[in-house]
Amino acid sequence: MAVQYFFEGICYNITTQSFEKNVTPIEVAKYLKGKYKSKARLREVLFKPTNADIVQEFYKGMFELFDEVEPFTYKEAFSVKNETLRAQVFGSIDISEMLKEFSMKRIKVDGKRVNRKQFSPYGEFLGWHEYDSIYETYEVDGGKLGIENKLYVLKCWCTSTNKEHYLWINEQYANDPLSAVASTFFVYANIIPYISELKRQGDVMLIEFKDGFAMDTINQTQVFVWEGESHYVGERRPLTKEEYFGLLTAES
């Protein structure tokens, strides 16, 4: 039976010592170099205590490849075949710097009045803060990347620094900025009814569940437990704007 190990959403088959379909060790190493920049930082992230010796071999293999590769360029990132890895690669690239080189056309602006929890740097709850969240969608000419099709991005602002950020989105969300921001997070469809709150910190989504909900693993397959019964988590899908804004209570 195959045993799988997940690192930043990328599946590594410990039994066969190979990555999932359309993912190569070189691609993973290029991604890691672009994200962590130095061996010192990579060592902090990868070399962690574990009981699985073969996982340690995976760590060492990535570390050894570090000097042999260069980070993904913008153009190379679009050619990554595996959807999960491609998303990780784009997440490691400063899109705002990249977009300065492109022609952009604004498509639509939309906003929503939201009420969010505020916390101190030490995690102390400071109360609620009401404000307007604004989002803009843009069409980008991908010609400089050798891509004939148009590309689409969502522009948003950090609530802590007011700094601009850009996220790649699918064309289907180009005319709906609120759905676009919700679509940047995928969740197992079957667990959505059991979510009590979502807290977003940059590209990380923290999920809080209702009392009595628990995640588990059966035969290397992820399941959830509710009222004493186990259920498979099912397929992942993007959140709808109603789910996203209805469940999100904090963001920074």
Instruction: Enumerate the domain spans of the chain.
Output: 4-93, 94-182, 185-252
Residue 1 above 70 pLDDT? Answer: no
pLDDT band, residue 53 (cuts 50/70/90): low
**Per-residue pLDDT at 223:** 87
**What is the identity of the amino acid at 158?**
C
189 neighbors 237 (Cβ within 8 angstroms): yes
Radius of gyration of the chain (CA): 20
Concatenated DSSP letters of 60-97: HHHHHHGGG--PPPHHHHHT--SHHHHHHHHHTS-HHH
Of residues 106 and 51, more confidently modeled: 106
Quickly state the pLDDT bin for 8 (edges 50, 70, 90). confident
Q: Is the pLDDT of residue 47 over 80?
A: no
Q: For the segment 55-86, what is each residue's pLDDT rounded down to a tens digit?
A: 677 777 888 888 899 999 888 888 888 888 88
pLDDT above 90 covers a percentage of the chain that reads 35
Q: What's residue 54's pLDDT?
A: 61
HEC string for 6-18:
EECCEEEECCCCE
Q: How far is CA 82 from CA 76, 87, 205, 219, in A?
A: 13, 9, 22, 25
Q: Helices 83-91 and 25-36 sit at what angle, rounded to 10 degrees?
A: 20
- For the record, the structure tokens of 240 come out as 């709808």
pLDDT at 197 over 70: yes
Check pLDDT > 60 for residue 52. no
Least confident among 63-72, 123-132, 145-154, 196-205: 145-154
Residues 182-208 have a mean pLDDT of: 90
Mean pLDDT of the chain: 85
Q: Is the pLDDT of residue 90 over 70?
A: yes
Task: Please determine, for residue 170, whether its predicted confidence score (pLDDT) is greater than 80.
Answer: yes
Judged against a pLDDT cut of 90, whether residue 172 lies above it is answered with: yes
Q: Which has the closest alpha carbon to 155: 124, 128, 133, 187?
A: 133
Residue 48, pLDDT score? 64
Q: Burial code of 104-137, b = ≥16 C-beta within 10 A, e = fewer?
A: eeebeebeeeeebeeeeeeeeeeeeeeeebebbb
The Cα 31–Cα 89 span in angstroms is 6
- Which stretches of the chain are DSSP H helices? 25-36, 39-46, 53-65, 74-78, 83-91, 95-99, 177-182, 241-247
